Structure formats: structure tokens, C-alpha cells
Amino acid sequence: MAGFKITNLDQLIAKIPQHATPLPPSAERPIEHYQRGASDARSLLLYFERNVRRTKVHPAKFERHATTLRNMVLIGLVESFERYVKEVAALCVDHIAPLVLDDRLSVFRMNMRGIAAQFSEGSLGKAICESATWLDTTEINDRFGKLLTDPFGKVTFQFFPQGKSTEAWRKTTMDTLFQLRHTIVHNVSVITRSDAARLRLLTKSGIEAPRVLSPSSADVWYVKVFIDETTAWANRRVAERLSELLTVIHAGDPGVFDPATKALEVAQQMGVTVVVAGHQANPT
Amino acid sequence: MACYGFLVNDLEGIDVDTRELAAWLRQREPETWWTVDGEPTLQAVVALPCQGADLAEVLVRHGHPKVRIVRPEGADHDTTDIGALAENDGGRVFLLAWVSAGQIGEPWELSEDPVARQAYEAAIAG
């Protein structure tokens, strides 16, 4: 490179993490944090398309940049979902871990540095869940299944139901989206032969490779509708299962917590009506 | 500063009861797909875009009591017709701001979402 030299790039880049803004109030409730993030992600696309339409642009060049942006938005939607799953898992850990003596947390790989970083905040859930990756439906099922099991009981809850469940399609569809995310993030949107082989299995249709992934604006909206619905559906199911589990724990030791207070906490955090040990609570 | 056809610095327009805007959405645009950009509470409590009837409910439940509808450049100064206060740019765009204790909040957009409408129609047509 000729003509210029920046000698403090290390310092300039080291400052980037300081260029940050506070979290929005919606971050306190996982479902709302998801909805805000997903809405912002897609708004970026609409904003770009609407404003560019007002100017003179070459259609081919516009389409090339718009394709890149659609792929970025698609990643944003999937990552918003991942964050939701992570936050709701952390919330479940914080409610359950102090009340049980079994080995349910062994399903998580403990990151000691992450635990140390969260020590002052006092959230074991965040310490365990934040540093982990939640981009595999089988792993998500394993973690939630174990986490929300009755004390010393068998796994009954599946975050993504499988087999003959009428909701089994959600697992395959989410796996497809996780695979598309992988293609965009790790292969710069190029569907490699190995990506194609996996996508072929998931979608049961012929996928050519190598090809550059070029979703349409409608595709991005379909992804958002699917993740919106799946997040709301999962949120209700997790809230219900968490409440059932708390009810079982309370039945075994009625002095362990006040069910009315606990129900209110869960309802507030999950944003849905719950019943714990006969005490119903609604979110405000 | 101009933003679309709005004069953002002025935020001049009409103040309406939020229930009036909600009623307009519910009665006049129940099946139109709308999205919100720049209003963190509304964006958090409802999956967007959503149809007018659903957005109307959310506006009443989570919005402030009064909202300013910013008048686009060239719009009739005397109009009180909500529909006439939208900028039309391949879809209607309203620039809005909550009015609270006489203070005007940060502007945000309520815009028609033609992509969602077309994609929805394509999806249900199979």
C-alpha cells in the first residue's frame, strides 16, 4: 500500500469496544428484547430500500448491495433468536439452580472466565449461558430438556418437539436457518458443496453448489414471520414448563419459596400469564 | 434538515389523541401491513410488521395518550385528515412523535410495508 500509513491502528481498534450505547429497557424481558432486535434488523432493510429508491441508482449495483444487506438482516434475525434462547435459558437457570440438588447443570460446559465475569452481577444463569453458542436445535433441546426436568426425573420437555409432533417442522426449519446463517457467516454467502449436502437433507430438495445465496426481500420477511411465531410459541411453552417445575419443587418443600411472589417474577420476566402452585400471575 | 418530505427540525403538524390514530388504523386500514421504526416500546411489544387492526390495539395499550403527526411538506395546513398527512413513497410513511406534558419526543416512523403485503399475498396464493 502506498501513499499513507496509519501508525496507531492497534489503539484505534482497541477503542472500538468503547463505542457502545446502553441496552434498551426491553432488554430486561427476553421476548421483548428479541422483538425489538428483530424489528430493528428488518427496518434497516426497509429503510435502505425506500431511500435508495428515491435516488438514481443502477439496478444491478443496487441489487448486489441489497443482496448483501438481506443476508446481513437474515443473520440479524437468527442471532436475535439465539440471544432470546440464551436469555431465557439464563432466566430458567436462575430460578431453578438454587432450588435443586441434582446434576442438571452438567449439561452446560462451564466457562470459568465467564463465571468470574458475572460474579458481581449474581446471575449464575448468565454466567453459564452467555458464553455458550445456541445455534443447534439438538443442543438446545438437550440443554432445556435437562434444565427443566423434574428433580431426579426423566427429560420430558423438548424446546423443539420432534418425531410425530405437529410442531416438528419448526425444528427442521430452524435447522435450515442455522445452516443458512453458517453459509453467510463462514462462507461469505457461498453455498459450498458441503452446505448444499446439508441443505438438501433439511429441505428435501435439490440444492446446487457452489452458488451465492441471494434471498429476496420476501424471503427475509418469511424468515422473520417464522422466527417471530416460533419465539412467541417457545416463550409460552418455556414459561408453562418452568411454572410446572416450580410447582413440583414447591410441592416437595412448601417453605422453599413464596409461590405468589415466584409466579409474579416469572410472569414479569417472561411476559405471559403463569400459574405456580395454584397462584396465577399476569405480566404488567 | 429534510427527511423524506418532512421538516424534522420543525416537527410541525397536528396533535391527535392516540385513540384517534388507532381508530383510523382499525377502521380505515385494518388489513394494511404497517411497520414502526424508531419507537422502542412498540417495537418490543409486537412482532412487526403487523396489520392495522393489531397495531391499533398496541398503540392504545402501550402508546402515550397524545401523538403528533408531522405534516409533510406541501400538505394542506388546515387538514385534519390523518390519511392526508402521510408522505407517499411507494407506500405511505407517517412521521410521528409522542406529545407528553407539552413536550415533543423523538420522531419515529409508521410506514406501510408493501414487501410484507406482496409476500403475504404470494404465500397465501401458494
Q: What is the pLDDT of residues A162-181, one digit of tens each?
A: 999 999 999 999 999 999 99
Cell of A60: 444491478
Phi, psi of A115 (to 5 degrees): -65, -45
Contacts (Cβ under 8 Å, ≥6 apart) of A197 = none
Residues A217, B40: C-beta atoms closer than 8 Å: no
Q: Is 0.90 exceeded by the ipTM?
A: no
pLDDT grade for A44, boundaries at 50, 70 and 90: very high
- A105-163 pLDDT per residue, tens: 888 887 777 777 777 767 889 888 988 899 999 999 999 999 999 998 999 999 999 99
Query: Which chain B residue's Cα is nearest to A227?
Result: B47
Q: What mean pLDDT, rounded, does chain B reach?
A: 90
Positive or negative torsion for Cα A27, A33, A36, A38: positive
Residues B119, A32: C-beta atoms closer than 8 Å: no
Which of A29, A33, A36, A39 best probes binding to B when mutated, by most B CB atoms within 10 angstroms?
A39
Residues B24-78: tens digit of each pLDDT: 999 988 899 999 999 999 999 999 999 999 999 999 999 999 999 999 888 888 8
pLDDT at B1: 42
Cβ–Cβ < 8 Å for B55, B25: yes
Sign of CA dihedral B109, B115, B118, B122: negative
Residue with cell 398527512: B85
Please report residues of B whose CB lies closer than 8 A to that of A76. none
pTM above 0.90, yes or no: yes
**pLDDT band for position A240 (50/70/90)?**
very high
Contact across the interface for A42 and B35, Cβ inside 8 Å: yes
The answer to whether the Cβ–Cβ distance between A39 and B118 falls below 8 Å is no
Whole-number Å distance between alpha carbons of B39 and B58: 12
Q: Tell me the C-alpha distance between A242 and A261, whole Å.
A: 14
Strand partners, B94: B110
pLDDT band at B4; cut points 50, 70, 90: low
What are the beta bridge partners of residue A281?
Answer: A274
